Structure 1
């Protein structure tokens, strides 16, 4: 008699197409494709953070000059240092000749200054201070130089999943090889919001006047903060090569949207585009609970189990984002590698529920076992062996299950 290993079927990817009523299972084949928002930006990425739904992606993974938007990476590393006790908010840092030499947007620091970390952070966020970034960089760099800090930024970015980011400096000053994608910038914004909620309110500050210097340079350049549309961050950017860009976020009700645009021709175009994105994201989509926790969606075949199948259910309530004009019927596909070998534990991930909305990327949500399925007893094993052997006799060795 063949060994038990010989009797096991080859694992196969099982796919089951579903057509479901929106009343019972409102899933997400959008009536409006992502191209319904025709952005003028060279690159753009819009994410509904609450449901982890990408609403738009245009040249999202292209590595392009990020200008001052890359200051968000310097801020993230500084926040980590504060969390770990390597910096304190009231600590005063010296200003080097190198930091003082930066032009563009600055805090007008000089080498006689010793500046509190809290002021430097506000100077970076509100005033986009190139000099403030360099001060932070030199304080945290492994070798005390801004170049060394940039190498660390690049390494840390990769660890955070930012695969298209390479830094040559701390502030986005034009330099060969200083590049990020808008997708990476959105990932970074998510990390700042999720990992450091205690510092995130700094991004909604509209003014900062450091030591009475340059009273005409005290206003946050983020054009959305004063519009009353829930905007609360994050960072603008502009160079001649990069054009005008913005990493933005807005929260309305229990939804948060994060977006990145780059390559716009003017400040006015950036402001108009950003406001249009926020309005489109919140007005054209609505969050709905589509399948409640414990509701079976499909079944998976079980190998050598006390039961021949197991119900597949969502992992908690399945909440997705629907467009305002979505259809009532949707298509989805359950994908799993089966049959699934017993024993199976309730809550064990067994499958994915896959949607492919028109004009958007594939969206997957996990399906888990609704209940335990123990390994079958002696009789189950004998019956399974007979079925397998009978199938091999009829179909040959290649025809077994």
Structure 2
């Protein structure tokens, strides 16, 4: 029986390693988001998104919109508008898959760099070389890498080769696990035609091997904020929010945000794209145009604050409240966190230097939203901005109102 050959859309990750001299080097690993030949032939996707250079899938929202448009052109949206594919959904599919690859890469870097090799050895012990090779070859045939699809090498040759000094056999094991995760994700089900693993499951030991692969990780060091084994961690978003792509992205943001690095901004952008598409649209046309009238403003009197005698002699020094308190804590060897704990000798010192006024920046009650946004953007120790205010009262953490 002929296999259902597929095209692949490539993703790229950058792994930072150290060479023998201790210098960092960038090591690019190709990661592939698989799309079947049947789907590509049906929807006539542009060749540009199937680059062999390792470019990220849907490098921008425009690429996602083009992809969605190709699918929608083949659907009867007049009679079945609910079948419409949106760019935000397509972008989310690729982003979720890429982030899962990135988490695996982090596991290798931070926990066990040989984990793929150990997993393969475990599987060989359970199934034997012949059954493992048959399944891996079937995967390569059904979901061929670019070189195999272009017939630059056979599936057997690819399996015996390396990519960026990494044995392809190890890469295929990981790709097969990610394909299984995609097929088990309920939120991915509307797009199953793009990466259906039914034939692989039917004509190989794929399902049994994946189950043993999962069992292997039950005895490996845990990972992530919840200290789950790696497979459980990768399944967390789909289990927590099974039927929502945006919900899974939000889960990653809320629970994995501090480890996602460069993916934070793309994740936030992906959520914004989905929210924008979900907005209710009305076709009632624009409202009435109103022309602003500035008549009479030329005669408006100036309203400057009255001058006071002390203003003329004021010599002002500005201090960022939180920064100054931290500096004073280090200087005096004790925690100084409130305004009433500032030593009198510090104020006396400022007076001796000739200052007659102290401007404390950031004394008002700050907005907690500002702190959360900064943490989302990769700074877990950040405080709220001094200019993002919740209320004009002295902050509780600085001692509150007298």
- Common fold: TM-score over 0.5: no
Question: Which has the larger share of strand?
Answer: 1
Larger of the two Rg values belongs to structure = 2
- Answer 1 or 2: higher relative contact order, Cα 8 Å, separation at least 6: 1
TM value normalised by structure 1: 0.26
TM value normalised by structure 2: 0.26
Question: Which has the larger share of helix?
Answer: 2
